[in-house]
């Protein structure tokens, strides 16, 4: 039976980055997934490394926006009414995390990760020979109406205090930076310290290839076959059983199933999101990802075309796609930018794995010695994969981690 120091379950950006970080520190690692690396949530995101705000993505506290959401008319957030009873407790906890003092707490708690996220990606991209995917030219947030711009000012102010680098632009300046935009917005913010990638799947694949070329093993298998043995954890894989002295769960939105089998229940929900690519000619091409804040979507230049990603949909993870938000916001997107025909007939659907306080869980699994967790990266998994991989690797090896790991540990939900 093939044996290793650490078996990692899940080869999305989080699992693959963790594999590289452990391998870099001299451990033998087997990475397992039922699919090829990067083909689930880590495929379809907006490709942004960093957040436009130091505040997390959470519920608006603005009465008009809340009424729009309650009536299911918002383009930014939508829910299946039949699903609400199943997620009510989670939604209440998530709503609490949008209180001003909680937003500040999360902004400070996430700062050690967010402020190092890009540097950590750059280091992995460099060693994987994949720097060609990276654009270091920032991201642009557009505000069609002045009240929505006024509402983000406290976050901008806190961001400035925390060292964020951004410029506030008027309509003309923003159109000079991004000439394809129609001037239908009043305010813009160019966050210069944010980067993006032109192909998130390409990045995860490049990391996985680098892991393999350094001697790492990738196996195909179902994580739910995991069994605890005397000397470690065993997985049934297509290549036969494999065994790790320790195991890391990095299954993103699927993590809860395996953990429930092992008796661990943490409050993970999913926030579904869609994307479609649109063909474009050179006159309509974008150089930066753009957030249309009042409507609630992002357009990112990708290798496949302009990728339009939606906000949040609350429904069962595996419920059939209902891309209502995409249909509703497309006329608004066409007003902002000359989009060509959709590249795909059916939009892509993915599920952001989210804890109610918006922070991931990274650290040991309570009462399960030898089992480690890194999941629930929510809206920021592409950004945070490499840096949370480093934090977990340093914690597992007993090194002094670059930051206090306690805010991210599972115990916060069990006390």
CB of 183 to ligand FAD, least distance (A): 25
| Contact assessment for residue 80 and residue 315, using Cβ atoms and an 8 Å cutoff | yes
CA dihedral (187, 190, 196, 199) in degrees, to 10, reads 40
Burial of 331 (0-12, 13-18, 19+ CB in 10 A): exposed
The answer to whether residue 273 forms part of the interface with ligand FAD (CB under 6 A) is yes
**DSSP string computed for 339-397:** ---BSSSS-EEEEEEE-TTSPPEEEEPTT-TTEEEEE-BGGGHHHHHHHHHHHHHHHHT
The answer to whether residue 224 forms part of the interface with ligand FAD (CB under 6 A) is yes
How far is Cα 259 from Cα 167, in angstroms, rounded to an integer?
44
CA geometry: angle 340, 341, 345, nearest 5 deg: 150
Q: Is the dihedral of CA 248, 252, 258, 259 positive or negative?
A: positive
The answer to whether residue 46 forms part of the interface with ligand FAD (CB under 6 A) is yes
The answer to whether residue 232 forms part of the interface with ligand FAD (CB under 6 A) is no
CB of 172 to ligand FAD, least distance (A): 27
The answer to whether residue 309 forms part of the interface with ligand FAD (CB under 6 A) is yes
The answer to whether residue 391 forms part of the interface with ligand FAD (CB under 6 A) is no
The answer to whether residue 379 forms part of the interface with ligand FAD (CB under 6 A) is yes
CB of 369 to ligand FAD, least distance (A): 22
The answer to whether residue 352 forms part of the interface with ligand FAD (CB under 6 A) is yes
The answer to whether residue 380 forms part of the interface with ligand FAD (CB under 6 A) is yes
CB of 35 to ligand FAD, least distance (A): 4
The answer to whether residue 386 forms part of the interface with ligand FAD (CB under 6 A) is no
The answer to whether residue 45 forms part of the interface with ligand FAD (CB under 6 A) is yes
Candidates 91-99, 125-133, 248-256, 320-328; binding stretch for ligand FAD (CB under 6 A):
248-256
* Closest-CA residue to 99 (of 153, 152, 155, 59): 59
* Closest-CA residue to 26 (of 215, 247, 243): 215
Question: Looking at 254, 278, 297, 355, which residue binds ligand FAD (CB under 6 A)?
Answer: 254
Question: Looking at 210, 275, 277, 390, which residue binds ligand FAD (CB under 6 A)?
Answer: 275
Burial of 224 (0-12, 13-18, 19+ CB in 10 A): middle
Question: Looking at 381, 386, 389, 407, which residue binds ligand FAD (CB under 6 A)?
Answer: 381
The answer to whether residue 288 forms part of the interface with ligand FAD (CB under 6 A) is no
CB of 146 to ligand FAD, least distance (A): 26
Question: Looking at 48, 248, 286, 290, which residue binds ligand FAD (CB under 6 A)?
Answer: 48
Spell out the residues 6+ positions from residue 144 whose beta carbon is closer than 8 angstroms to its own. Answer: 184, 185, 186, 292, 293, 294, 295
CB of 181 to ligand FAD, least distance (A): 19
Candidates 27-35, 124-132, 148-156, 259-267; binding stretch for ligand FAD (CB under 6 A):
27-35
Q: Is the dihedral of CA 76, 79, 84, 87 positive or negative?
A: negative
The answer to whether residue 296 forms part of the interface with ligand FAD (CB under 6 A) is no
Q: Which is nearer to ligand FAD, 171 or 321 (CB)?
A: 321
Alpha carbon of residue 350 to chain centroid: 11
Candidates 19-27, 31-39, 178-186, 279-287; binding stretch for ligand FAD (CB under 6 A):
31-39
| Contact assessment for residue 28 and residue 190, using Cβ atoms and an 8 Å cutoff | no
What's the full length of the chain, in residues?
415
Helix axes 146-161 and 100-127, enclosed angle (nearest 10): 70
CB of 147 to ligand FAD, least distance (A): 25
Question: Looking at 47, 52, 56, 301, which residue binds ligand FAD (CB under 6 A)?
Answer: 47
| Contact assessment for residue 42 and residue 12, using Cβ atoms and an 8 Å cutoff | yes
The answer to whether residue 222 forms part of the interface with ligand FAD (CB under 6 A) is yes
* Residues engaged in binding ligand FAD (CB under 6 A): 10-15, 33-35, 39-42, 44-48, 222-224, 250-254, 273, 275, 309, 350, 352-353, 375, 377-383
């Amino acid at each position: 039976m093939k044996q290793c120091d650490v078996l990692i379950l899940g080869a999305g950006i989080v699992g693959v980055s963790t594999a590289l970080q452990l391998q870099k520190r001299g451990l033998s690692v087997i990475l397992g997934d039922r699919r090829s690396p990067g083909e689930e949530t880590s495929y379809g995101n907006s490709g942004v490394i960093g957040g436009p705000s130091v505040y997390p993505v959470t519920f608006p506290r603005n009465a008009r926006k809340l009424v729009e959401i309650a009536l299911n008319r918002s383009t930014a957030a939508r829910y299946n009414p039949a699903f609400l009873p199943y997620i009510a407790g989670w939604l209440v906890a998530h709503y609490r995390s949008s209180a001003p003092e909680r937003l500040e707490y999360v902004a400070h708690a996430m700062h050690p990760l967010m402020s190092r996220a890009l540097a950590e990606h750059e280091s992995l991209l460099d060693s994987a020979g994949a720097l060609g995917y990276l654009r270091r030219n920032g991201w642009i947030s557009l505000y069609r109406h002045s009240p929505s711009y006024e509402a983000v000012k406290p976050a901008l102010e806190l961001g400035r205090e925390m060292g964020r680098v951004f410029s506030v632009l008027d309509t003309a300046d923003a159109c000079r930076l991004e000439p394809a935009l129609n001037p239908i917005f009043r305010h813009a913010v160019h966050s210069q310290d944010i980067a993006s990638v032109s192909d998130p799947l390409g990045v995860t694949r490049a990391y996985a290839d680098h892991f393999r070329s350094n001697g790492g093993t990738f196996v195909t298998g179902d994580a739910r076959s995991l069994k605890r043995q005397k000397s470690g954890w065993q997985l049934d894989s297509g290549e036969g059983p494999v065994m790790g002295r320790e195991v890391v769960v990095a299954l993103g939105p699927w993590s809860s199933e395996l953990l429930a089998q092992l008796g661990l229940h943490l409050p993970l929900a999913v926030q579904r999101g869609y994307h479609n690519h649109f063909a474009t000619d050179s006159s309509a091409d974008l150089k930066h990802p753009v957030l249309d804040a009042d409507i609630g979507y992002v357009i990112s230049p990708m290798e496949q075309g302009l990728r339009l990603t939606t906000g949040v949909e609350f429904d069962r993870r595996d419920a059939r796609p209902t891309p209502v938000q995409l249909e509703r916001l497309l006329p608004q997107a066409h007003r902002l930018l000359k989009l060509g025909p959709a590249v795909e007939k059916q939009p892509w659907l993915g599920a952001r794995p989210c804890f109610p306080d918006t922070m991931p869980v990274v650290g040991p699994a309570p009462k399960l010695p030898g089992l480690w967790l890194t999941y629930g990266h929510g809206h920021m998994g592409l950004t945070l994969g490499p840096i949370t991989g480093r934090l977990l690797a340093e914690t597992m090896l007993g090194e002094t981690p670059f930051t206090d790991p306690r805010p991210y540990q599972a115990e916060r939900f069990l006390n």
